[in-house]
Structure 1
Amino acid sequence: MLFDHLVVGGRTLASARARIEEALGVPMQPGGEHAVFQTHNALMALEDGLYLEAIAPNPAVPAPARPRWYDLDRFEGPARLSNWACAVTDMETALSEMPDGAGAPVSVQRGSLSWRMAVSEDGTTPFDNLWPALIEWPSDVHPARQLEPTGVRLRRFTLSHPKGDQLVLALAAHLFDDRVSVEVGPIGMSATFDTPHGTRSL
């Protein structure tokens, strides 16, 4: 697995987008609509090929026939850093090595961009959504390459879970990234960034 992007979920896209822009002091760029899960997003490029995504249910279209990804159907409270995704090159092989509940491949499209995402039947991921959603991009295609540079760089991404000792062992078998740390504690995630305005956090 390779660290792909961070997700800020919200009950509305405006709230998720505002949460990122206010925290980091950098504007986001328009994204688009996801027909399978009836969501819409906005994006922000990060250094090192990563990006930030603001996402929420799309109120302009009917509800999807299945639960939305990123557990958005049960999202409550203010917009916040809620999920993350890691890229794989062989979805089926990767899923065979993941914890139970990591999901099954779903083909998704946003405009001219198409990819596959592992999504469980209830839209969640293991470890109370702290396990990364798996994403498989086509060769030589990635949304971060289509975004304007912002000068924002992820410095640290921290996951906290009561079973953090189990989570860190499970991740260590698949992900080698010294920006990611795991703690034992209440369920949550946070990220620290270097920005044109100094160090900022989500």
Structure 2
Amino acid sequence: MAEIDHIVIGATTLEDGARYIEETFGVKPSKGGAHVGLGTHNLLLGLGANCYLEIIAPDPGQVEPPHPRLFDLDDAGLRTMLEAEPRLIAYVASTPTLEPMVARLGASRAGEIRAMSRGDYAWRMAFPPQRQDMENLIPALIQWDSERAAKHIKDSGWRLTSLEAEHPDTQALHGALEARGLTDAVKIRQSPHVRLIAHLRHKDGREVTLTSA
């Protein structure tokens, strides 16, 4: 039903994000672009033909958006954390049946579908309403109407090997991910603290672990 499309690194500025990626992975990210009207812009790191890493930050070249920025970037607590260092903040899952899935889950759980585009790329996304996403452990859903972006991003040699989610209420989290067809894509563990963990490995054997907390 769904699979991991990309993971998301939040940063205060794209310059901070690019520096973090180069220091962590030993490679410069590729150019992304602006999310017009949403107040953000991004850089990209290719993780193979079907997955990538997005670095996202507020875009100073845009006016303040009428709604909170995606992935809780306007949250005061997250802003404080990102001022210390860019970090993993979310992930996005791809589905070929976005409308039926959102209809089945309901807008109160899956969010409303937004059509988005940039250059040759076109996609639709549904973001779970804030406070309904279990602190970004329930992913936004995306359906590509063009070719998937990952196919056109320069391959970094890194691969996402596993994604883990820690939460006090594993039953609720398991149910939410199962409803989206992601039980095999995300390993769930019980913990008093909420945390998203991504493990990546380079073709030369190097390994990196990213965490949201």
Give the TM-score, by structure 2 length.
0.85
Question: In 2, are the aligned partners of 1:8 and 1:20 still within 8 Å (CA)?
Answer: no
Alignment of 1:115 with 2:123, yes or no, is yes
Q: What is the deviation of 1:174? A: 2.8
- Residue type at the aligned position of 2:5: D
Let me know the Cα RMSD of the aligned residues.
2.0
| Distance change (3 Å), C-alpha of 1:159 and 1:50 | same
Q: Which runs of 5+ in 2 are unaligned?
A: none
Q: 1:102 aligns with which of 80, 100, 110?
A: 110
Alignment of 1:148 with 2:116, yes or no, is no
Q: What is the deviation of 1:120? A: 5.0
Q: What is the deviation of 1:48? A: 5.0
Give me the whole-angstrom Cα distance separating, in 2, the residues matched to 1:198 and 1:172: 32
Partner of 1:60: 61
- Within a 5 Å distance, the mapping from 1:5-154 to structure 2 comes to 5-47=6-48, 49-74=50-75, 75-76=78-79, 77-78=81-82, 79-98=86-105, 100-119=108-127, 122=130, 126-139=133-146, 141-154=147-160
Alignment of 1:163 with 2:163, yes or no, is no
Give me the whole-angstrom Cα distance separating, in 2, the residues matched to 1:161 and 1:48: 30
Give the TM-score, by structure 1 length.
0.89
Partner of 1:201: 209
- Residue type at the aligned position of 1:57: P
Q: 3-state DSSP class of the match of 2:200?
A: strand
Give me the whole-angstrom Cα distance separating, in 1, the residues matched to 2:175 and 2:27: 35
Q: What is the deviation of 1:192? A: 1.0
Aligned length: 200
Encode CA deviations 1:111-141: one digit per residue, 9 max, x unaligned.
332211113565x6521221010111115x1
Encode CA deviations 1:59-84: one digit per residue, 9 max, x unaligned.
11101122221111113213210010
Q: What is the deviation of 1:153? A: 1.0
% identical aligned pairs: 32
Q: Which runs of 5+ in 1 are unaligned?
A: none
